[in-house]
């Protein structure tokens, strides 16, 4: 079951498809479809190409420089980019911090940050998780102490994706140690290129080092870089997370559909009933994920805001992707141990899916409480 597109939407899809076909580098597409590592230039290069057409921020309204697309048009764009092997939209800036600046930011913040996110000049990272505050984010210990017309920040973050390449960080820090843990937090925009900020890349089982430890030792943030007001960091942070998970919904389900097709090619001629049953089960779950993404799309179109339903899509995607890559490894047998096999990388990288962007356990709680309305246990 797919969306039934109008004639106008079909023309829009054709326009997107033609633009990608004419402008996406074949070498970059081969990397994406072959699950090879993308360089920073690969990603920013495609972002700049999209920017020339006004498409680098597909979810943004026209008033802030975006294309002003409907939710259905955004979905079409995500599917066409995924199918063609285009690099993903730069999520931390475009999909996560920008909506927060649009909703809570001052006019000065909007005028300074949004054009630089749009052009790709500024890369962002997310300073939330700490060694002792992951799933229970409100327990974070990083502190910001007032100093003159600004703040001095000291603390540590971890699993900070792309921090070593970022210019700015959306940072959650404790500004009132005496308030309840959810109420004493403030959301800052921190310049990463200053004394007192250190990143230490963490090497993963894939061999990459996209995650980092982030250390702040009396780093300075001016008052004008607070978003949403002092002590109001929790609702601002939650807004960021909802946009993160909602933004992932269609992109992730589209990736699953592409991966299913690739795995089907690997399984051609397979007669093993167990393997065929496992594949069928994954295909069914992938279709459920697709339908849930459509439901989330409908909800967002009605309310204008992403809701907690995005947590369900992210949770299901993590399970499906891990099952899919595990099946691929089982089918390939000993050859799956080869580092240059695309499924080897995908299997290893998929281990992080149930942790990053919210652990599966926490997402289940969110779905139970905020989607199903069940009482807290």
The residues, ordered by sequence, that sit 6+ positions from 266 with a Cβ below 8 Å of its Cβ are 328, 331, 332, 343
The residues, ordered by sequence, that sit 6+ positions from 140 with a Cβ below 8 Å of its Cβ are 128, 130, 133, 155, 172, 173, 174, 185
Whether 249 contacts 313, CB under 8 Å:
yes
Active site annotation includes 198:
no
Whether 118 contacts 56, CB under 8 Å:
yes
- Distance in angstroms (rounded) separating the CA atoms of residues 58 and 62: 10
- Cβ atoms within 10 Å of 107's Cβ, excluding its own: 7
The residues, ordered by sequence, that sit 6+ positions from 4 with a Cβ below 8 Å of its Cβ are none
- Distance in angstroms (rounded) separating the CA atoms of residues 15 and 135: 42
Task: Kindly state the DSSP code that residue 95 receives in the 8-state scheme.
Answer: I
Specify the pairing of strand 197-202 against strand 150-157. unpaired
The residues, ordered by sequence, that sit 6+ positions from 193 with a Cβ below 8 Å of its Cβ are 167
Q: Which residue out of 244, 285, 309, 361 is catalytically annotated?
A: 244
Residue 4: exposure state from Cβ atoms within 10 A (0-12, 13-18, ≥19): exposed
Indicate the Cα dihedral angle 90, 360, 31, 81, nearest 10°: -60
- Distance in angstroms (rounded) separating the CA atoms of residues 193 and 206: 28
Task: Kindly state the DSSP code that residue 224 receives in the 8-state scheme.
Answer: G
Whether 325 contacts 297, CB under 8 Å:
no
Q: Which two tokens stand for residue 328?
A: 């691929």
The residues, ordered by sequence, that sit 6+ positions from 335 with a Cβ below 8 Å of its Cβ are 341
SS3 of residue 134 by DSSP: coil
Q: Which residues are catalytic?
A: 244
């Amino acid at each position: 079951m797919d969306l039934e597109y109008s004639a106008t939407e079909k023309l829009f899809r054709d326009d997107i498809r033609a633009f990608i076909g004419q402008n996406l580098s074949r070498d970059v597409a081969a990397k994406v479809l072959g699950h090879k590592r993308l360089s920073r230039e690969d990603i920013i290069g495609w972002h700049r190409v999209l920017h020339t057409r006004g498409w680098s921020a597909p979810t943004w309204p026209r008033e802030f420089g975006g294309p002003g697309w409907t939710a259905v048009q955004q979905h079409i764009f995500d599917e066409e980019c995924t199918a063609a092997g285009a690099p993903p939209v730069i999520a931390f800036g475009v999909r996560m911090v920008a909506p927060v600046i649009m909703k809570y930011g001052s006019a000065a913040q909007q005028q300074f940050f949004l054009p630089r996110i749009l052009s790709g000049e500024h890369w962002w990272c997310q300073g939330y998780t700490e060694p002792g505050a992951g799933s229970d984010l409100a327990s974070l210990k990083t502190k910001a102490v007032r100093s003159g017309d600004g703040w001095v920040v000291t603390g540590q973050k971890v699993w900070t994706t792309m921090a070593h390449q970022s210019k700015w960080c959306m940072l959650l820090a404790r500004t009132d140690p005496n308030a309840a843990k959810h109420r004493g937090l403030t959301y800052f925009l921190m310049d990463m290129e200053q004394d007192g900020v250190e990143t230490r890349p963490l090497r993963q089982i894939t061999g990459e080092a996209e995650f980092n430890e982030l250390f702040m030792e009396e780093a300075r943030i001016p008052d004008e870089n607070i978003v949403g007001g002092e002590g109001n960091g929790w609702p601002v942070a939650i807004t960021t997370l909802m946009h993160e998970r909602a933004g992932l919904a269609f992109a992730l389900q589209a990736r699953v559909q592409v991966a299913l097709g690739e795995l089907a090619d690997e399984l051609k001629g397979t007669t093993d009933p167990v393997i065929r049953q496992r594949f069928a089960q994954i295909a069914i779950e992938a279709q459920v994920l697709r339908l849930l993404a459509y439901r989330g799309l409908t909800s967002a179109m009605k309310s204008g805001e992403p809701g907690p339903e995005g947590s369900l899509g992210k949770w299901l995607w993590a399970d499906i992707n891990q099952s899919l890559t595990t099946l691929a490894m089982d089918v390939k047998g000993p050859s799956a141990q080869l580092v240059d096999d695309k499924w080897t990388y995908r299997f290893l990288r998929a281990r992080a899916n149930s942790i990053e962007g919210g652990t599966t356990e926490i997402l289940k709680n969110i779905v139970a409480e905020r989607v199903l309305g069940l009482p807290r246990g």
